Structure 1
């Protein structure tokens, strides 16, 4: 799915964060949103994911203007098409690793449900296989980041929004996460990554400099 921001502006607490920002994120190419701290990388990512409204400009998905989507329409978009890997992880620490991946459980007994094969595959790909019954709250920061990625792999969404995915990872896990994200793009998904990690940036097929006149690379 093609995601576009057209001349968008956003102010938070009265302070301009984005001013006339435009970007196109095409399927099949991992796009890096880069810039100095405070440049608005995360804000732009949240706008593209319809998590944050824009003050001016438009957000388009496959050419359709979704800027003023209703709450129910945004929820359907998130449910049907997207996965998020954000800095706060979005992890439910009181639930098991498995539940955090599938987000499904039976009413009786609270047993985790969903596709067990896909669950095991997603945990194996992120190095968490065998830990599905542990409470997510017992995981380290880096492991929670990988758990959030496991959820995205399980969902196999059309669009993946990722914020600083390698920030708390060691070199081995960083390479693993970068390879997994690149694989999403190779399979025709739209992958948008806010990052300052040079290794992550080098793995992206296109770069957008947030808040710069020299906006597009590739």
Structure 2
């Protein structure tokens, strides 16, 4: 699903955080929002994901203007199409790995949802065999992969990601970046706010926030620059 912002602006607490930002994020590609701390990367990501309303401009999902979506429409978008991987991972530490992926529970602790798909997704993200383990026991890198496992299990069409590699070691960083790349290769739209150079280099489109809508890297549909 294509995600597009046209000339969006937003002020928070009287301070202009976004000023006429425009970007087009295509399916099958990873788009990075880059720039120094405080430039508005996360704010732009949250606006694109309909977590924050904009003051001016428009946001389109697959050509449909979603700028004025009401609360019910936003919830439907989040439920049916979007997944978020935020800096706090969005993981429920007191719940099992299986519950955090499927978001379904049952009496007596039995796993609900598609067990075969759950097993496949956990294997893909390097968490196989840990279905019944409490998520609170996982390391930071493992929680990041667990959040991605949830998005893959859900088969989200759009993935919004905020600083995914900020606190990861080298091995986990590479694994997470490879998983995002594979997710995008299946025709999904991946939008990442990041300052990590390795993550930036893996993306197809780089949008420098606050720099007159500067696209500083653009890879076409056939992957030629």
Q: Same fold (TM over 0.5)?
A: yes
Cα-to-partner distance string for 1:19-70 (whole Å, 9 max, x where unaligned): 1111100111111110100111111111001111111111111111101101
Whether the 8 Å CA contact 2:22–2:213 is kept in 1: the answer is no
CA distance in 2, matches of 1:53, 1:210: 18
For residue 165 of structure 1, report the CA deviation from its aligned partner. 1.1
The answer for the alignment partner of 2:204 in structure 1 is 205
Whether the 8 Å CA contact 2:8–2:56 is kept in 1: the answer is yes
The answer for the alignment partner of 1:72 in structure 2 is 72
CA distance in 2, matches of 1:174, 1:68: 37
CA distance in 2, matches of 1:187, 1:135: 30
CA distance in 2, matches of 1:112, 1:70: 34
The answer for the alignment partner of 2:117 in structure 1 is 118
The answer for the alignment partner of 2:90 in structure 1 is 90
The answer for the alignment partner of 1:53 in structure 2 is 53
CA distance in 2, matches of 1:165, 1:118: 24
Unpaired stretches in structure 1, ≥5 consecutive residues: none
1:170 aligns with 2:172: no
The answer for the alignment partner of 2:108 in structure 1 is 109
Unpaired stretches in structure 2, ≥5 consecutive residues: 219-225
CA distance in 2, matches of 1:125, 1:37: 32
CA distance in 2, matches of 1:139, 1:10: 37
CA distance in 1, matches of 2:192, 2:136: 25
CA distance in 2, matches of 1:119, 1:70: 33
Query: For the aligned residues, what is the CA RMSD?
Result: 1.2
Cα-to-partner distance string for 1:107-137 (whole Å, 9 max, x where unaligned): x334321111211122122221122111112
The answer for the alignment partner of 2:221 in structure 1 is none
CA distance in 2, matches of 1:199, 1:153: 22
Cα-to-partner distance string for 1:164-188 (whole Å, 9 max, x where unaligned): 1111211111111111111111111
Helix, strand or coil: the match of 2:147?
A: helix
Helix, strand or coil: the match of 2:7?
A: strand
When the two structures are aligned, how many residues end up with a matched partner? Answer: 217
Helix, strand or coil: the match of 2:173?
A: helix
For residue 6 of structure 1, report the CA deviation from its aligned partner. 0.8
The answer for the alignment partner of 2:8 in structure 1 is 8
The answer for the alignment partner of 2:222 in structure 1 is none
Cα distance, 1:60–1:194 mapped onto 2, change above 3 Å: same
- The more displaced of 202-211 and 136-145 is 136-145
Structure 1 runs (4+) greater than 2 angstroms displaced: 108-112
Helix, strand or coil: the match of 1:118?
A: helix
CA distance in 2, matches of 1:110, 1:72: 31
- Compute the TM-score of the two structures, normalised by the length of structure 2: 0.93
